[in-house]
């Protein structure tokens, strides 16, 4: 068994928790994989603040591929390998079994979580380890176990230890609007405020290693781009050009920021080097060019332009002649906010099909086959952000008149919602993998 150590940090999670979001599965798959997750035994004193097996169950169910057996229907409640009888699970038509127990780590304040994961049909132990951490890290340990289970079953790396950024706006008691930039686990738990302002905050985005973020803040009364280090909180104002400064997006190598500036009259795409501040103009057109997104190789940028009268998505190489533009979308009234999935072929975007139907939906266009799959059926969907494993897309929509965050699987079959208790939530930005 491999033992992984967790750094102990006293972090005041609860003090920072703002809008506690809770998951609601709105749509699942037809034939989910049956998995039995036995409640983990707690061998210490008192009550644990986190329910590790429940965290794993929530993770696996909300991405849709799994259906967890209710503990009330289990014939036995094993906590380790020697208590497992495969027959008990085969009669219940389960494919996989997860068992575990939690105890105090000897001679410390830490806890250790031992888990084991089995393939029922092959009567085989697929994984097992002991994860050690503080009580406040039990949630991370749960997500880590979910990653292991998810990857063993689906072959795809799990994104359960990733995080999201998003913006909340809320009316304060005095009637003023307060804007917050928040960071939370991918499922909305453990929200922390990174920035609060009486002026709008927009367009949060992650650096490729997840250590820094960039965003637009109107705190000087004008939209300007800032970066902020997550660990230290250190901020840096990156731009102070006249007019619009917006849409900062890190290049895949982390050395440059693509952005939108209208200093020369109309919004155009620029790239600024973060070390020497050199600025390269990418697009040069009197129409609106905005919403830059990098190609995977960092050589070209996908962007939106209304140069034909309505927003469509284009691509061009950084440093190429401004005539050398490739148009990627044609068969929509408006196509906006394009971004390639990790496969480099499918492009998620916001789509308004026709002038007559005023619905903005999240769709995926395969730029080789030109096949379009519309993933959502609500009408004000925007700001799609892709999980680093490419399995799900989080986006902003409206529910009951308020802004909420929804996520949909890449095939459109599974949806879940992160409803917040207060305010308008929007502009989700899914983090990269942190390691």
Partner 1 sequence: MFVSLLAFTACSSTGDTDEGADTAQNGSGSGSTNTATSSPASGGGQLTQEEIRAQSALRQTVFYFEFDIAEFKPADRDTLAYHARDLAANPNKRIRLEGHADERGTREYNLALGERRANGILNYLIVNGAARSQIEVVSYGEERPAQSGQMESAYSRNRRVEIVAR
CB of 125 to partner 1, least distance (A): 23
Q: Which of 1, 12, 47, 93 binds partner 1 (CB under 8 A)?
A: 12
- For residue 88, the surrounding DSSP H or E stretch is helix 86-90
Residue 354 binds partner 1 (CB under 8 A) = no
Which residues lie below 8 Å from residue 346, measured CB to CB, with a gap of 6+? 340, 364, 365, 366, 367, 410
Residue 256 binds partner 1 (CB under 8 A) = no
Which residues lie below 8 Å from residue 137, measured CB to CB, with a gap of 6+? 6, 8
Q: Name the residue nearer to partner 1 (CB basis): 67 or 398.
A: 398
CB atoms within 10 A of CB 434: 11
Which residue, chain included where needed, has tokens 């102990």? 8
Which residue, chain included where needed, has tokens 């909300």? 62
Show contacts with partner 1 in window 160-189 (CB under 8 A): 161, 163, 169, 176-177, 179
Residue 110 binds partner 1 (CB under 8 A) = no
Q: Residues 364-403 vs partner 1: string with x where CB under 8 A?
A: ----------------x-xx--------------x--x--
Do residues 36 and 74 make contact, with C-beta atoms less than 8 angstroms apart? yes
Q: Name the residue nearer to partner 1 (CB basis): 42 or 303.
A: 303
Do residues 225 and 246 make contact, with C-beta atoms less than 8 angstroms apart? yes
Cα–Cα distance, 110 to 105 (Å, whole number): 5
Residue 23 binds partner 1 (CB under 8 A) = no
Q: Name the residue nearer to partner 1 (CB basis): 79 or 132.
A: 132
Q: Name the residue nearer to partner 1 (CB basis): 38 or 282.
A: 282
Q: Name the residue nearer to partner 1 (CB basis): 80 or 378.
A: 378
Q: Name the residue nearer to partner 1 (CB basis): 68 or 131.
A: 131
Q: Name the residue nearer to partner 1 (CB basis): 328 or 414.
A: 328
147: phi then psi, degrees, rounded to nearest 5: -60, -45
Residue 243 binds partner 1 (CB under 8 A) = yes
- For residue 326, the surrounding DSSP H or E stretch is strand 326-327
Of 389, 413, 349, 422, the C-alpha closest to 188 is 422
Show contacts with partner 1 in window 72-101 (CB under 8 A): none
CB of 203 to partner 1, least distance (A): 7
CB of 82 to partner 1, least distance (A): 29
CB of 208 to partner 1, least distance (A): 14
Q: Which of 44, 49, 358, 377 binds partner 1 (CB under 8 A)?
A: 358
What's the number of CA atoms in the CB half-sphere (13 Å) around residue 198?
A: 7
Cα–Cα distance, 186 to 181 (Å, whole number): 15
Question: What would the 3-class secondary structure string for 340-384 be?
Answer: ECCCCCEEEEEEECCCCCCCEEEEEEECCCCCEEECCCCCECEEE
Only segment of 51-59, 83-91, 102-110, 212-220 that touches partner 1 (CB under 8 A): 212-220
Show contacts with partner 1 in window 319-338 (CB under 8 A): 334, 336-337
Residue 58 binds partner 1 (CB under 8 A) = no
**Could you please report the per-residue DSSP string of 95-145?**
SEEEEEEEEEPTTSS-EEEEEEEEETTTTEEEEEEEEEE-GGGHHHHHHHH
Residue 306 binds partner 1 (CB under 8 A) = yes
CB of 247 to partner 1, least distance (A): 5
The angle formed by the CA atoms of residues 216, 218 and 223, to the nearest 5 degrees, is 60
Residue 225 binds partner 1 (CB under 8 A) = no
Q: Which of 61, 62, 203, 420 binds partner 1 (CB under 8 A)?
A: 203
């Amino acid at each position: 068994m491999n033992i992984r150590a967790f750094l102990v940090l006293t972090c005041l999670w609860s003090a920072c928790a703002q809008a506690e979001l809770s998951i609601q599965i709105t749509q699942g798959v037809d034939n989910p994989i049956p998995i039995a997750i036995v409640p983990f035994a707690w061998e210490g004193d008192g009550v644990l603040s986190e329910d590790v097996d429940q965290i794993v169950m929530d993770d696996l169910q909300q991405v849709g591929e799994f259906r967890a057996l209710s503990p009330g229907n289990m014939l036995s409640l094993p906590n380790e390998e020697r208590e497992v009888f495969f027959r008990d699970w085969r009669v219940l038509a389960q494919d996989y079994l997860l068992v575990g127990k939690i105890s105090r780590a000897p001679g410390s304040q830490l806890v250790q979580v031992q888990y084991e994961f089995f393939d029922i049909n092959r009567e085989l132990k697929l994984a097992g380890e002991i994860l050690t951490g503080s009580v406040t890290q039990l949630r991370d340990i749960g997500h880590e176990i979910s990653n292991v289970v998810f990857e063993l079953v689906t072959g795809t790396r799990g994104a359960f230890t990733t995080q999201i950024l998003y913006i909340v706006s809320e009316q304060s008691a005095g009637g003023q609007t307060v804007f917050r930039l928040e960071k939370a686990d991918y499922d909305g738990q453990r929200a922390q405020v990174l920035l609060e302002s009486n002026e709008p905050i927009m367009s949060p985005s992650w650096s490729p290693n997840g250590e820094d973020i960039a965003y637009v803040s109107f705190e000087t009364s004008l939209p300007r781009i800032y970066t902020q280090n997550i660990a230290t909180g250190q901020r840096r104002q990156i731009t102070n050009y006249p007019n619009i400064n917006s849409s900062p997006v890190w290049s895949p190598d982390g050395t440059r920021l693509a952005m939108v500036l209208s200093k020369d009259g109309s919004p155009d795409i620029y790239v600024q080097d973060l070390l020497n501040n050199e600025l390269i103009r990418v697009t040069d057109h009197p129409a609106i060019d905005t919403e830059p997104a990098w190609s995977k190789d960092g050589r070209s940028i996908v962007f939106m332009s209304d140069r034909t009268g309505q927003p469509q998505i284009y691509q061009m190489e950084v440093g190429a002649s401004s005539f050398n533009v490739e148009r990627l979308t044609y068969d929509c009234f408006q196509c906006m906010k394009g971004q390639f999935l990790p496969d480099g072929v499918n492009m998620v975007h916001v789509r308004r099909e026709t002038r007559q139907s005023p619905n903005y939906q999240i769709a995926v266009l395969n730029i080789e086959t030109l096949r379009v799959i519309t993933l959502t059926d609500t009408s004000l969907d925007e700001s799609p952000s892709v999980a680093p494993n490419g399995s799900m897309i989080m986006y902003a929509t409206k529910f009951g008149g308020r802004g909420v965050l929804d996520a949909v699987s890449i095939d459109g079959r599974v949806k879940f919602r992160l409803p917040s208790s207060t305010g308008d939530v929007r502009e989700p930005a899914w983090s990269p993998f942190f390691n």
